[in-house]
């Protein structure tokens, strides 16, 4: 009887000690076109911004979209990811991508692209803001 109690108690201790706590970090970072930025053990570089959003104070048929290519590089991994905000059905891109980099699960979400197009002046987007979650 003591043996069974000991076995049951041991199994209870082992099963309760198996719960892992996930360490995740969330950062909001702004990136300038073609300027690499290190985040953790990976380097992020915005390589392209294609902005066809409807300019401020304009009457447009659709809201348009902004598409961003992001290169993510670690020691042995290189990924090029396409993000899109707005009317993105035709290119099949999304505003959030989940992927592994250096054996760490990452989720990157595009938050904003600045400056916003304007009717009066030609604006070239230069800054992209991403939310990066690791873990």
Q: How many CB atoms lie within 10 A of CB 66?
A: 21
In a domain, 111, yes or no: yes
**Residue 88: which domain range?**
20-134
In a domain, 12, yes or no: no
For residues 92 and 69, the answer to whether their CB atoms sit within 8 Å is no
Three-state DSSP state, 16 = helix
The pair of three-digit structure tokens given for residue 1, joined into one six-digit string = 């009887």
In a domain, 48, yes or no: yes
For residues 46 and 70, the answer to whether their CB atoms sit within 8 Å is yes
Q: What is the pLDDT of residue 9?
A: 53
In a domain, 31, yes or no: yes
In a domain, 11, yes or no: no
CATH number of the structural domain spanning residue 108: 2.60.98
For residues 118 and 126, the answer to whether their CB atoms sit within 8 Å is no
In a domain, 33, yes or no: yes
In a domain, 14, yes or no: no
When divided into structural domains, the chain yields a total of 1
Give pTM, 2 decimals: 0.77
In a domain, 1, yes or no: no
pLDDT in tens, 16-41: 554 444 467 889 999 999 999 998 88
List the pLDDT tens digit at each of the 135 positions of the chain: 555 545 555 555 445 554 444 467 889 999 999 999 998 889 999 999 999 999 988 899 989 999 999 999 988 889 999 999 998 888 888 999 999 887 889 999 999 999 988 888 877 778 999 999 987
């Amino acid at each position: 009887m003591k043996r069974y109690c000991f076995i049951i108690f041991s199994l209870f201790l082992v099963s309760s000690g198996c719960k892992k706590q996930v360490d995740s970090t969330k950062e909001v970072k702004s990136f300038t076109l073609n300027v690499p930025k290190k985040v953790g053990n990976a380097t992020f570089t915005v390589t392209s911004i294609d902005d066809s959003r409807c300019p401020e104070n304009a009457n447009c048929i659709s809201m348009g979209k902004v598409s961003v290519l992001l290169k993510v590089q670690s020691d042995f991994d290189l990924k090029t990811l396409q993000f899109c905000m707005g009317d993105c059905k035709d290119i099949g891109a999304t505003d959030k991508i989940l992927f592994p980099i250096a054996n760490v699960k990452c989720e990157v979400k595009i938050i904003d692209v600045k400056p916003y197009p304007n009717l009066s002046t030609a604006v070239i987007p230069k800054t992209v803001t991403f939310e990066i979650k690791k873990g």
